[in-house]
Every structure is written in C-alpha cells, then in structure tokens.
Structure 1
Amino acid sequence: MPRNDPRQYDDLAAEWWHPTGTFALLHWLAAARAALVPPAPGPGRILVDAGCGGGLLAPHLRGKGYRHIGVDLRRTGLEQAAPRGVTAVLGDVTALPLAPHSADVVVAGEILEHVTDLPGTVAELCRVLRPGGIVVLDTLNDTGLSRLITVTLGERLGIAPPGLHDPALFVPPRRLVAEFARHGVPLRIRGVRPSLTGLFRWLVLRRPAHGRRIVPVPSTAVLYQGIGRKIRGIEGRAHETGVAHAAG
C-alpha cells in the first residue's frame, strides 16, 4: 500500500478510541485544538470538522454549543463519529458537500499534511466559513526535523503507523499562511509538541497520559497550530447559511 493511502484508516478503525492505541496522540491534539474553539455566541451555530476521522474532537466540544458536523472520506471513521454526537457527512475536504458561509467554525486537524491539493483544500475551508468565522488547524511542517521525528523515528517507535504520512505533503507555515490570506483569513501560528511525560506514559508504560498533553513551544519546526478569523465582507453575503449534504 502506498504512503498516505486513505484505506489505511479502514485497517486501523479499531484504534480510533483505544486509550493507548495507535491514535492516542491524535486524542491529545484534538483536546488542544478544541481549546482554541470559543463557546458558540448563540444557538444554531455550526462547527465543521474537516477530516473528522472517528470524531475525536467531539468530547472536547461538549458544552460549547455547536452543532458538530464531521466530514470524512472513510465510512469506517464516520461510523464511530456519529454515535458520539457528530453529524457525519461522507465527503472530500477538497470538495466539501456544504453550502458557502455555512460554518461559524471550521476545524482542520491533522488533515492538511495528507491532502494532495493544498490550495484547493484551503479554498474549500474558507468557502464554507462565514465572514467573521474562525478556522482552527494543526499540521506538520515541511522540515528535515519533522520528517525525522514523524516518519523515520516516529514509525520505528510506534508514534505513527508505517506509511501513514507522505513527507512530500508536509506544509511549511509560510505557505499555509499565504494560502489562507488569499481568502481573507489571516492566520496566527504557534509551535506545539507532546509533553514528555505524556509520551513516556504512552510509549513506555502503555498507560493513558494525564494533564496537559500538548504544550506550546517557540519552534514550529515539527508541529504547529493555526487560528484565524475570516475578514468580514471579503466574499459574498454574511447572512448566507445552511448545510447542503452530499447524496449517498
């Protein structure tokens, strides 16, 4: 199976909610991502989770007041997301089956380093985001250090499943900032990493990590978060709403 093949997620479906399994680090990142999402300012607000996988973001959004819509390519992940309160939509992040300006928040966690059309994906994320809405993301930087830690060492140590990432698709922050700026979404970037105690508990002791598992760091050389707000009036009408689900 080639690197970055989405079918791998079908083979790994049982790992989505295993507390110390292959996707444990994704749970930590989901919690850190959700911490950047503000409470909904009113009823009926929509959060779109692009590339939602098994719905790991869901427990960290409880009480924030959003309708959580998850879009993913793989039915195996959506089948696990739906029972956790996610409105599951089968679809591709490069062609989101959602109406323009339908989302108050768009979240793109650990998905941008997997897409083969970054400009098209960013355009779609911004298309469905209403003016004044917020985008929250995290992804991997395109550096030698990132490739070493994530692929070379990460696959040997069990931090990432073999072949899950194609380092040719890793995303430098400067490029991502430029792509979002084209659509009226200025991004603020900061580096993050897993806590060392969390990694030790997971990789060595095979126990769930506790406390603050993702911490900010000065460097964006490996892993980074981004948050931005879409400039009002940048495109279309601010009051356009609704969700158009794909057929089938």
Structure 2
Amino acid sequence: MPPTEQLPRNDPRLYDRLADQWWRPRGVFAMLHWLAAARGALIPPGKAGSVLVDLGCGAGLLAPHVRGYHHIGVDITASALRQATGRGVAAVRGDVLRIPLRDGCADVVAAGEILEHVTDLPAAVREIGRVLAPGGLLVLDTLAATRRCRFVAIGVAERVPGLAPRGVHDPALLVDRDELVGCAAEAGIPLLLRGIRPSALDLLAWVLHRRDDVRMVPVRDTGVLFQGVGRKETR
C-alpha cells in the first residue's frame, strides 16, 4: 500500500506505517508512553511464576514499568510485536476478541488503550474474564463515549504531534462506561473507574522541550480518558 494512501479510521495497518515511532520520546506514540507509566503504577510487583497478559501491547511500552512477571503481550500487529520481543515481552499474535491463551492463565491483565479499538466490547471483556485467574487484577485505560471525548481525543489530540496519530480512533467505538462496568460485573470483575489526564505543567514543559515525559494525574471526571481497576471474584 502506498504510504500516502488514506486509511479508514481505526485501521490496524496504521501501526505498520508508524512502526519506527514506537520508542521515540517525541514520536506520534508519546502519550502512550505516559499512559503505560500510569498503568504500570497500578500493577504491584509480581511474585515467582506470576503472569501478566498485556492486551494490545504494541511495542511493549508497559515493559519498563512492571517487574516480577512473565510478561505476555498480545497484539495483531507483527511489526509491533517484534519490537516488544526486544523488550523482554513474550509476544503472541492474536485478537483480543479471541485471546489465544488458556483459561485462568493470568494473574494480571493489562488492557491499555485497546478497548476503544474493539468492535465488540462485551466479547472483549468476556475474554478478559476468561483468561484472568480468580483473584487476579485487571488494569485498563481507555476513552469514554462522550461528545467531549470525541472533541478532545479526536478533534484536538489528533492534530497535536505526539498526542495521537491522525485517524487512530473511530468515534463510534469509544467506550460506554456503564456498559463496560456492567460487562465486567458479568465476568466477575467489580470495576472501579477514575479519570486521568496529563499534568498541565508537565505538558507545557513537554511542548517547550523542557522534559521528555508527562505525568498522568488522576481526576474525578471520567468523561474523556479514564482508568479501570478490579479484581476477579474468587467464588
């Protein structure tokens, strides 16, 4: 495919086109690094034999922020998985709607910036519940299905270098928070949500090239970008 050909929104071929951007501090995936750090802060160190399943792992951006796990990364983009392997991630090519892993294999499931890309949210959450062991931890972050989120995450962020590649999100797939919580409950995972956003001061310093990363800070408002945390019930 010619590199200038316009892709549909949410087309996974975009990640092949941008494969050289994953580990650039100021590349088009810069914000994914900030989110990976915030996600990793919610994951306690693993114990001997602990398994972390990283859904939509991309090039393994979560790897520097977790320790003590056999880190399995699941993604559909082969070019990203090759880079994840170089970061110590056990790469598995597969779709989050049909995760190619056995039931109850994961002590932790991380689903970072992936649920807003799936075409069947209930199926994705069922698969998460299937692979997560009883008592296991789910940590996720995603985008809310709100008019404000469509404006901020698509209308604005896709026009600011480093915040989001153009065309990466389909507004029709943004995540309904009530549906997500309900699906998680059906899978036996009581889920708590909290909003998250870039630190304004850090973001300004980043724009001015005074720092290479931006801390994500929690907020009450879940109407744009939010995290979810829950443990699967043991009964």
Classify the TM-score, shorter chain.
Answer: over 0.9
Shift of 1:133: 0.4
TM-score under structure 1 normalisation?
0.89
Gaps of 5+ in 1: 234-248
1:163 maps to which of 160, 167, 172: 167
Offset from partner CA, 1:88-108 (integer Å, 9 cap, x none): 011111000100000000000
Write the distance in 2 (CA, Å) between the matches of 1:177 and 1:5.
26
Match of 1:222 in 2: 224
Match of 2:57 in 1: 52
2:203 maps to which of 175, 199, 203: 199
Say how many residue pairs are matched.
Answer: 228
Alignment of 1:136-175 (within 5 A): 136-158=139-161, 159-175=163-179
| Native 8 Å contact 1:20 1:206 kept in 2 | no
Write the distance in 1 (CA, Å) between the matches of 2:210 and 2:176.
32
| Native 8 Å contact 2:107 2:132 kept in 1 | yes
Between 1:196-205 and 1:163-172, the stretch displaced more is: 196-205
Match of 1:43 in 2: 48
Gaps of 5+ in 2: 1-6
What's the secondary structure of 1:84's corresponding residue?
Answer: coil
RMSD: 1.2
Write the distance in 1 (CA, Å) between the matches of 2:201 and 2:89.
31
Shift of 1:201: 3.1
What's the secondary structure of 1:59's corresponding residue?
Answer: helix
Write the distance in 1 (CA, Å) between the matches of 2:176 and 2:81.
29
State the AA in 1 paired with 2:59.
Answer: G
Alignment of 1:92-241 (within 5 A): 92-158=95-161, 159-205=163-209, 207-209=211-213, 213-233=215-235
Percent of residue pairs identical: 57
TM-score under structure 2 normalisation?
0.94
Between 1:215-224 and 1:154-163, the stretch displaced more is: 154-163
What's the secondary structure of 2:71's corresponding residue?
Answer: strand
Write the distance in 1 (CA, Å) between the matches of 2:132 and 2:228.
15
Offset from partner CA, 1:108-134 (integer Å, 9 cap, x none): 000000000111111111100000101
State the AA in 2 paired with 1:168.
Answer: A
Structure 1 residue 4 and structure 2 residue 10: aligned?
yes
| Native 8 Å contact 2:132 2:232 kept in 1 | yes
What's the secondary structure of 2:115's corresponding residue?
Answer: coil
| Native 8 Å contact 2:202 2:211 kept in 1 | no
Shift of 1:206: 7.6
Match of 2:4 in 1: none
Q: Give the 4+ runs in structure 1 shifted more than 6 A.
A: none
